[in-house]
Amino acid sequence: MSPDRPQNWSAHLPPGHDGRFDLPAPGTLVGAWADRLADDPDRPLLHADDAWTTRGKFLERTSTVAGRLAAAGLVAGDRVLVSGPSSLDLAAAHVACLRLGLVVVPVNGAYTGGELAHIASDCRPVAALVDHDGWSALLRDLDSELTVTSTTIDLPAGPVPPLDRAAPGDPAVIGYTSGTTGAPKGAVLTQENLLAGAHAVCLAWRWTDADRLLLCLPLFHMHGLGVGLHGTLLAGGSAVLQQGFAPDRVLDGITDHGCSMFFGVPTMYHRLADHDRVADLGGLRLCVAGSAPLSPALHAGFADVGVSVLERYGMTETVMLVSNPFDGERRAGSVGFPLPGVDLYLDPSTAEILVRGPNVFGGYWERPDANAEEFADDPGGGDPWFRTGDLGSVDDDGYVTITGRAKELIITGGLNVFPAEVDEALTAHPAVAEVATAGAPSEEWGEVVVAFVVAADGHACPTVEDLRDFARDRLASHKLPRRVVPVEALPRNALGKVLRHELCEAAPHA
Ligand code: MCA
Ligand code: AMP
């Protein structure tokens, strides 16, 4: 694959497809949804809180919510924080915001006050639709003028304003991600980016209105939101929403509601693999894994019980990029071929994966420095390429394999942890002189956060419980270390930079 050669997407396209990647009219996510959902209003769309909601009722609910938000003074382009456990209210609030042209900023509900404050001060929202205890007060302390309500949108009613008017290039979602360096940055995804991301997987995975997805991924990351929810609405299929992941509930939900698809992170597959009803997944049309590497052993274990898991690769900044084929070999240890619309090539000197396409975001929110670093000019004068920070290889059959990361990132249970952020929080502990965190391999979590600690003079090295208790107010719990390794000194290069790769190699297998 080279930057000047068009990609071959044929491995993903259904038989008879003309090979072009045209987005559905009018080129926006909300426009395509409105078209799809206005048809057959009595069809079940989302199951949540023990009941089905039809397409018609869902659209009606989103119009009502949009009316309330407009009456509260929100206008297209305003940022809105949205966070809650998966529910019909959350899905409707998200869709209502997009229909009104607002820019949704999804936030992980496990974030601490400090993490929430960073996002709020960075993107300066006009409203927050949040379901977590204590968040209203925290947000109002940050900005007394902020409109804050729960995702039930307890605001006065208002007339329904014109909806679904956004243009393809209008921002729709700002997804915060640690990226390669520094504090979390907001990746600005447009209506077109989100439409292209969902459309590509609908095509590649043969997702139709006959499909029903078991969706237990949180709706605050691109996996659950940009693929699970957006794809369901675009395909006109239906989804069973569950709060959090419990293998029993997932398998019951699949049987009770006749689901045809399941999407999960490898940690979920690891937990499902031990279940005595794991073979039930074989009855599904499609099981997709992503967000972190699926081990070949787990892939093979599922194949043994009749489940051919399809692994794919994506990012907050790009929605989905590469996928194993629906028809053809789903190769263990590989993420497959670039999805329709995606151009991909490997930097010849570093093997870093570079991408571009209608799904790839245009830049981080108010971060010209990061944008300059993370986009590379095209030698032929075409669109710039986004540096993913992932390293890859492509074999003779065109299968892409993720071989490592150029960026300092730990991925635990499908969630990203930026080690410098953890280091900073732990350094403040009085018994810590120096600390560096790294990811140690774990069968269940993929990687776990391990802290290598140099104890302060006159102090014993703190225990893992000490450090977790100490940092719990500053870091979401998935970022807290699960192990502590006392060391005399941290390995550093000549410039004094910690050699995290050496720590990773030294980290004990969890
Ligand atoms: C929860 N904990 C974790 C994690 N999740 N620790 C490390 N890593 C995690 N991922 C903490 C809890 O806070 C708790 O800590 C303790 O672990 C036990 O929680 P447990 O009940 O076992 O965990 P869980 O609630 O079952 O969650 C595990 C999970 C969840 C289901 C795997 O993490 C999850 O839903 N992950 C998927 C996230 C996701 O959607 N990622 C996609 C992003 P304590 O006891 O101290 O309170 S990537 C993306 O979107 C791109 C586009 C892509 O490619 O998909
Ligand atoms: P996020 O920033 O949370 O969207 O995480 C994106 C990162 O997850 C990517 O840059 C990859 O490092 C990683 N990732 C996603 N899917 C896979 C996969 N199938 N295999 C390996 N890494 C993956």
Q: Is the pLDDT of residue 509 over 60?
A: no
Instruction: Summarize the confidence of residues 169-178 as an average pLDDT.
Output: 95
Confidence of residue 276 (pLDDT cuts 50, 70, 90): very high
**How many separate helices (H) and strands (E) can be counted in the chain?**
15, 26
Residue nearest to atom 23 of ligand 2 (CA): 292
Asked whether residue 418 is assigned to any structural domain, the reply reads yes
Closest ligand 2 atom to residue 222 Cα is 4
With bands split at pLDDT 50, 70 and 90, how would you rate the model's confidence at 379?
confident
DSSP 366-399: T-HHHHHHHEE--TTSSS-EEEEEEEEEE-TT--
Query: For ligand 1, is residue 171 a contact (CB within 6 Å)?
Result: no
Pocket perturbation via mutation, ligand 1, pick of 271, 412, 464, 477 by most ligand atoms within 8 A of CB: 477
Contacts of 66 (CB under 8 A, 6+ apart): 96, 97, 99, 100, 160, 161, 163
Grade residue 501 by pLDDT with cuts at 50, 70 and 90. confident
For the chain, percent of residues with pLDDT exceeding 90: 90
Ligand 2 in reach of 408 Cβ (< 6 A): no
Backbone angles phi, psi at 28, to 5 degrees: -125, 155
Ligand 2 atom at shortest distance from the alpha carbon of 179: 2
447 Cβ inside 6 Å of ligand 2: no
Please indicate whether residue 342, judged by its CB atom, sits closer than 6 Å to ligand 1: no
Q: Is 477 in the pocket of ligand 1 (CB under 6 A)?
A: yes
Residue 18 lies in a domain: no
**Mean pLDDT of all residues in 261-281:** 97
CA of residue 111 to ligand 1 center, whole Å? 12
Q: Is the pLDDT of residue 193 over 70?
A: yes
Encoding tokens for residue 94?
A: 């998200």
Distance from the CA of 159 to the center of ligand 2, in angstroms?
42
CA distance linking residue 307 with residue 303, whole number of Å: 5
Q: Using the atom order of ligand 2, give the atom closest to the CA of residue 290.
A: 19
At residue 508 the predicted structure's pLDDT band, cuts being 50, 70 and 90, is low
What value does the CA radius of gyration of the chain take, rounded to a whole number of Å?
Answer: 23
Q: What separation in Å is there between the alpha carbon of 244 and the centre of ligand 1?
A: 9
pLDDT digits (tens, 9 = 90+) for 468-488: 999 999 999 999 999 999 999
Q: Give domain status of residue 118, yes or no.
A: no
Looking at residue 4, what is its pLDDT? 63
Q: What CATH number did the domain enclosing 442 receive? A: 3.30.300.30
pLDDT at 332: 98
Task: Report, as an integer, the average pLDDT of 376-395.
Answer: 93
Atom of ligand 2 nearest to the CA of 289: 19
Mean of the per-residue pLDDT values of the chain: 95
Among 229, 320, 468, 478, say which to mutate for ligand 1: greatest number of ligand atoms within 8 Å of CB.
478
Q: What is the dihedral of CA 388, 394, 398, 400, to 10 degrees?
A: -50
Q: Which domain holds residue 471?
A: 410-506
Domain annotation covers residue 438: yes
* DSSP string computed for 310-358: EEEEEETTTEEEEE--SSS---TT--BEEPTT-EEEE-TTT-EEEEEST
pLDDT value at 506 more than 70: no
**Whole-model pTM?**
0.96
Q: Please say if the pLDDT value at position 416 is more than 80.
A: yes
Domain contains 417 = yes
Instruction: Take residue 346 and report the two structure tokens written for it.
Output: 């490997």
Give the pLDDT score at 252. Answer: 98
Ligand nearest to the CA of 335: 2
Ligand 2 within 6 A of 321 CB?
no
| 60 within domain boundaries | no
Q: Does some domain include residue 443?
A: yes
Residue 238 belongs to some domain of the structure: no
* 309 pocket-lining for ligand 1 (C-beta < 6 Å): no
Cα distance between residue 56 and residue 504, in whole Å: 52
Number of domains in the chain: 1
Smallest CA separation from ligand 1 atom 51, residue: 315
Q: DSSP per residue over 229-258, as a string?
A: IHHHHHHT-EEEE-SS--HHHHHHHHHHHT
Q: What is the pLDDT of residues 2-43, one digit of tens each?
A: 666 667 789 999 989 988 899 999 999 999 999 999 999 999
Ligand nearest to the CA of 416: 2
Q: How many angstroms does the Cα of residue 319 sit away from the middle of ligand 2?
A: 10
Of 112, 193, 201, 221, best ligand 1 pocket probe by most atoms within 8 Å of the beta carbon = 221
Tell me the percentage of the chain whose pLDDT exceeds 70: 97
Using the atom order of ligand 1, give the atom closest to the CA of residue 316: 52
